[in-house]
Homo-oligomer: A and B are copies of this chain.
């Protein structure tokens, strides 16, 4: 909070106003001007990696003093390689198609009035996030490429790292056509600053929370600024009675263990009892081999070894670990009722060789991403080919699933006439 680009708590509104003003300038820059700026920032981050690492050491030291856990410390920790990855990410975003200015549709009314629907930036994005310092560079890159200013409020544990990144970005932007005011960083650990963002409708067009369930809930419940809800994934794998055993096991293990801490990891396995009767030994061996802890009710305990008794909270839990809730059902309908009740509308997968059963699941389950015979891990902007993503929307309005650059845009209808009246 003492570096040159740091800004005091009581100035959150001033910062948002500056972002609004900068957004106007940014909104009409050419694709070339924006891409050049992103490359300039990427180069500067690489050149300045040592100062970021040094600030990061301070955050890590503070984190140790506060006794943060290993997973948290890992998310907070930067290396030269991770910083070079930020730069690579910015260059990748520079390479993506620019959505701004796209004429999405156009027509002429009988009276000669020309109508064009044109894609434009949202304006000012408010980003509220937790420990990962990479979000600072990633979110700024996506916002700038899509012509938006951004107000960043990162977690207090990464304050020094984030400030070091922002200082380098600001200095770099001064050499470009993008006004440096287009990237605002709220340099305080004070939670009041976050709350101020919740209601700043005049200056901020959308809030995007990225982090744990409690952060997202706080934003959704308290913000009057429109919110793009992201990320909580209580994802289910439903193994139907007609599931191929090898596919089912491979997909389950991949979805649960490949990266347990991410939102597209599986949290609950729903198994048709007929399948379970046939394959319980195979399943038990696999779960044990991969160190997965099973939480289940009595019927699960009767079929599988070492089952931890599951309560209501297990069905709703996003474990983000090698824990797995197991629910046994007698029909597709029961499986879907369970998903309707406990799912977070993120990603759900059915494993079955029966196409009709799969079709019913895909039609009636309500989530951003539905899979037939594939792992939920593909719900990711990179994996699905969207390029970089700013988060995964679990709401239905505006954007659903991985949000790439188009999710950071809106539209204007432009009508050109020569005196038309109604």
Contact = CB atoms under 8 A, between A and B. Distances in A.
Interface string A402-422: 000000001111111111111
- Pick from A107, A250, A413 the residue with the most CB of B within 10 Å: A413
Given A247-B418, A250-B421, A412 B374 contact: no
Contacts of A236: none
B419 A250 contact: yes
Interface residues of A, number: 65
Contacts of A224: 220-221
A411 B422 contact: no
Contact of A122 (B247, B374, B396, B413): B396
B366 A123 contact: yes
Contacts of A107: 385
A258 B419 contact: no
Given A113-B378, A251-B419, A374-B113, A413 B369 contact: yes
The residue in A374, A395, A400 that gathers the most chain B C-beta atoms within 10 A of its C-beta is A374
Contact of A421 (B27, B370, B375, B411): B375
Given A419-B246, A421-B258, A422-B383, A400 B396 contact: no
A219 to B, nearest CB: 10
A398 B369 CA distance: 18
B421 A251 contact: yes
Interface in A375-407: 375, 377-379, 383-385, 395-398, 400-401
Contacts of A3: none
A27 to B, nearest CB: 7
A373 B247 contact: no
A383 B205 CA distance: 28
Contacts of A397: 122, 206, 226, 228, 397-398, 410
A241 interface: no
A117 to B, nearest CB: 8
The 8 closest A-B pairs by CB, nearest first: A374-B417, A254-B421, A247-B419, A396-B410, A377-B422, A397-B398, A398-B398, A374-B420
Given A122-B396, A123-B396, A383-B422, 5 more contacts: A115-B384, A205-B396, A369-B413, A397-B410, A398-B398
